[in-house]
Amino acid sequence: MAELERAAARYRERDASAALTGFWSLRNPAVLHVAQERERVALQLLAAAGIELAALRVLDVGCGFGLEFTSLLRWGVRGQTLVGIDLMHERLRVARGHSPALLVQGSGTALPFPDACFDLVTQNVVFSSIVDPAARRASAAEMLRVLRPGGWLLWYDAFRTRARDPHFRAVPRSEVEALFPGVAWRWRRLTCDIGIAARLRRVPGALALLDASGLACTHLMGLGRRP
C-alpha cells in the first residue's frame, strides 16, 4: 500500500507543476521527436508480428491521462475493446473526457479482471515508476494472468537513466525478461536521452544522427508473446 500511495503522491505533485507539464508537451520539439520515433517503432514491431489490432481486446496498465489511447485507436484498436487502468482518479477523469475506452481506477498489482481476458496488454513508462520490487513482480504477474495464452505484451520503458530520482528506477532488459517468465520478446532500443535531445533540438539533423548511432538511447520497446 505504501508503494501505491507514494506513486500517486508523486504524480499528483508532478501534475501540479506547470514547468513539468509544459516540458512534456508535444509542443516541445524534443518530446515530439521521441514520441514520433516511439510510434514508428511500435508500428514496425506490431506489423512484423502480423498483429491485426482491430480484432484485439486491449488493456493499458497505468494509462494515466490516456495519451496512449490516441495512438492505439489510430493504429486500429476499437474503442469498445480498449480498457485502461490507473491509480489516479484525477488522471482518469481527464482520460474520460477524450477517450471511448472503459476506464477503471485500481492498481496494476491487483487487476480487477478475470484470467486470460485480454489479447494485448501494454505498459508505457509505468514500471519505472514502481520502485518496490515486490510491487513490480505483482504487476508483471497480473499482466500475464489477464493475458490469454498466445496473447501479446507491448512494453515501453527506460532501461537506463542519468536522472537521480528516488521515484524512478530504470528496468533493464534482463529484469523485464525475469518478470515475465516464458515470454518470447523482440526488442528495440530507442528514445534519445531527453536532456540531450532538448539541447540538440535546433541543430539540423542532430537528433536523427543520434538515433541512428543508438548511443544515447534510454528506453526499450518490446513486443512479447505469452506461450
Ligand X SMILES: C[S@@+](CC[C@H](N)C(=O)[O-])C[C@H]1O[C@@H](n2cnc3c(N)ncnc32)[C@H](O)[C@@H]1O
As a whole number of angstroms, the distance between CA 101 and CA 79 comes to 5
User: What minimum distance in Å lies between the beta carbon of 45 and ligand X?
Assistant: 17
User: What minimum distance in Å lies between the beta carbon of 199 and ligand X?
Assistant: 22
Contact between 143 and ligand X per CB under 6 A:
no
**Contact (Cβ atoms closer than 8 angstroms) between residue 185 and residue 141:** no
Contact between 191 and ligand X per CB under 6 A:
no
Which of positions 83-142 make contact with ligand X (CB under 6 A)? 85-88, 91, 107-109, 124-126, 129-130, 139
CA atoms within 13 A on the CB side of 198: 10
> From residue 48 to residue 87, what is the string marking binding to ligand X with x (rule CB under 6 A)?
--------------xxx--xx----------------xxx
As a whole number of angstroms, the distance between CA 143 and CA 84 comes to 12
**Contact (Cβ atoms closer than 8 angstroms) between residue 158 and residue 125:** yes
Contact between 218 and ligand X per CB under 6 A:
no
User: What minimum distance in Å lies between the beta carbon of 14 and ligand X?
Assistant: 8
Q: Which is nearer to ligand X, 130 or 147 (CB)?
A: 130
User: Closest CB to ligand X belongs to which residue?
Assistant: 64
Chain residues binding ligand X by CB under 6 A are: 4, 7, 11, 62-64, 67-68, 85-88, 91, 107-109, 124-126, 129-130, 139
